[in-house]
Amino acid sequence: MSINGIPLITIDGKPTSLLEYNDKVKLIVNVASRCGLAPQYEKLEKLQRAYGDRGFTVLGFPSSQFLQELSSAEAIKEFCTTTYGVTFPMFEKIKVNGRSQHPLYAELTKTPDAHGKAGRVKWNFEKFLVTPAGEIHRFRPTVEPDAPEIIDLIEGSLTRSANELRTSRPAGPLVGGDGDRNR
């Protein structure tokens, strides 16, 4: 199943889906303001600023499942903006595990990590890198957002996307009546 059509709600209450980010390399992260890993917000924002204009975005999904997220969307937004200067898209609070697990995470958690383990999200700040081609790569919470394995995947995916875009364009305008392209 493609994750792109799964309905989502932004932190501001606007309905959307990943189709809005279909052509981007996406780093999907379950976040929590009161978690000891919350300083990862700073590195996530650095990635957003470094690669955002090249076809990359971080997507933050607050979750209270580990009892470390603020209670309201307004409080979460204020914390993220004032503490870490977050500019990347944030979404409503969701459940990442269990019977009420959000459909996005039901799909993402089927992906194994580097050790071959799929299933439940272990903690806040678990990361899923999704390429425009739909490849999903999973990183556990202790893998920092700027870890070489994440940076390499981001840069490789952005290069591949740029090359695919270039090769899908026509070589140039037709000239003359014989159909030859510019010489």
63 with 93: CB under 8 angstroms? yes
8 with 104: CB under 8 angstroms? yes
The pLDDT of residue 172 is 52
The pLDDT of residue 171 is 52
Instruction: Classify 139 in phi/psi space as left (phi over 0), alpha (psi -120 to 50) or beta.
Output: beta
Domain segments of the chain as ranges: 7-166
Please report the DSSP string for 102-117 in residue order.
-HHHHHHTTS--TTS-
Regions of the chain short of the pLDDT cut 70: 1, 164-183
Instruction: Classify 35 in phi/psi space as left (phi over 0), alpha (psi -120 to 50) or beta.
Output: beta
Residue 35 annotated in active site: yes
User: Of the listed 3, 35, 86, 150, which one is catalytic?
Assistant: 35
- Extract the tokens encoding 40: 């990862």
Q: Which of 73, 77, 79, 78 is nearest to 94 (CA)?
A: 73
- Extract the tokens encoding 169: 């364009």
Please indicate, yes or no, whether the overall pTM of this predicted structure exceeds 0.85: yes
The pLDDT of residue 181 is 42
Residues 133-158 have pLDDT tens digits of 999 999 999 999 999 999 999 999 99
The pLDDT of residue 82 is 92
Q: CB-based burial of residue 40 (10 Å sphere; 0-12 exposed, 13-18 middle, 19+ buried)? A: buried
The pLDDT of residue 179 is 47
What is the CATH number that goes with domain 7-166?
3.40.30.10
Residues 41-59 have pLDDT tens digits of 999 999 999 999 999 999 9
